Homo-oligomer: A and B are copies of this chain.
Amino acid sequence: MTNNGSQSSARPGKQAIIAAALKCFHERGYEGSSIRDVAQVAGVTGAAVYHYYGSKQDLLMEILEDFLAKSIQATKDAVSRVGSDPVARLFAAAQSHVLWNTSDVAASFVVNSEIRSLSPENRAKHIPKRDELQRIFDDAVEDGCREGLFLTPWPLEASRAVTVMCTFVARWYREGGPLSAEEISWRYGHMALSLVRSTRGPQMDLPTYGEIPIP
């Protein structure tokens, strides 16, 4: 399963090119893949790729920007659905982040390893959006600390550790493994609360995969 994160609103030709680029960049890296490789995997001509993208750099930037924009939106949606409680917000953000990254492990890999390949200008545009995503987690953790719900002495480090552990589930997760993405995300929601030393659980309507570990 892929989330079609970079593809849903694209035209068919564009969609095939982005899917092909993701496959190439995932398998061989950005520098190890040429426009010719991408075109070949997409089953189109090099000229067709250039019709949509001025350069390989444009293609990479669109993939990264699109994945990150949708990641931010998914996290914001998940958080706003559960209201203002910081415990529920952190749980929802962690859960959503695991689900998002496991929904397209190739895209997650590329987005999280090819920032090095962005041009300085593209990187300067991209980094603030990464910070925006992190800020959703940070806000929940800082609010939780302020309200005495989270006991971690290091809100920002803990928040970053949560984001990282959720992002990189995509490195080992495989469909058809012993746990579904939903169950993994539910466990990571709870582990995120443990990491910030939450004094209680999310107190919201959750699917049950086992006993909820934080009372």
Q: Is A6 an interface residue, CB under 8 A from the partner? A: no
Of residues 126 through 166 on chain A, the ones whose CB sits less than 8 Å from some CB of chain B are 151-154, 157-158, 160-161, 164-165
User: Which of B29, B161, B191 is within 8 Å of A31, CB to CB?
Assistant: B29
Of the candidate stretches A39-47, A57-65, A193-201, the one touching chain B is A193-201
A interface residues, Cβ below 8 angstroms from B: 26-33, 109, 113, 116-117, 151-154, 157-158, 160-161, 164-165, 168-169, 171-172, 184, 187-188, 191, 194-197, 210-211, 213
**B191 engages A154 (CB within 8 Å):** yes
With a 10 A CB-CB cut-off, give which of A157, A169, A211 has the most chain B CB atoms. Answer: A157
What are the 6 tightest A-B residue pairs by CB atom distance, in nearest-first order?
Answer: A31-B32, A29-B29, A28-B31, A32-B32, A161-B165, A165-B165
**B29 engages A152 (CB within 8 Å):** no
**Alpha-carbon gap, A172 to B160, bound state (A):** 10
**B157 engages A191 (CB within 8 Å):** yes
Q: List, in ascending order, chain B residues with CB within 8 A of A161's CB.
A: 165, 188, 191
**A164 engages B153 (CB within 8 Å):** no
Q: List, in ascending order, chain B residues with CB within 8 A of A157's CB.
A: 184, 187-188, 191
Give the residue name and chain of the B residue nearest to A197 (CB). Answer: B194
**Alpha-carbon gap, A113 to B31, bound state (A):** 14
**Alpha-carbon gap, A211 to B191, bound state (A):** 23
Nearest CB of B to A71, in Å: 16
